């Protein structure tokens, strides 16, 4: 996948997820996805 297309897709997805959510809901979702990404990165390191 083209890196720019991937960035655009992620931005569009974030906008769609954010639509209709409160600031508190967005903060929870942000924390969730941050922890998910960090955990996946940690697991990737240990697979090598």
pLDDT in tens, 3-43: 999 999 999 999 999 999 999 999 999 999 999 999 999 99
User: Do residues 18 and 30 touch, judged by C-beta distance below 8 A?
Assistant: no
Residues in the chain: 48
Q: Looking at residue 1, what is its pLDDT?
A: 81
- Cα separation of 18 and 6, whole Å? 18
Give yes or no for residue 48 having a pLDDT over 90. no
User: Which pLDDT does position 38 carry in this prediction?
Assistant: 98
Domain boundaries, the chain: 22-48
């Amino acid at each position: 996948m083209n890196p720019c297309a991937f960035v655009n897709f992620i931005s569009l997805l974030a906008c769609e997820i954010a639509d209709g959510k409160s600031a508190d809901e967005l903060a929870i979702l942000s924390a969730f996805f941050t922890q998910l990404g960090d955990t996946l990165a940690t697991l990737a390191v240990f697979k090598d």
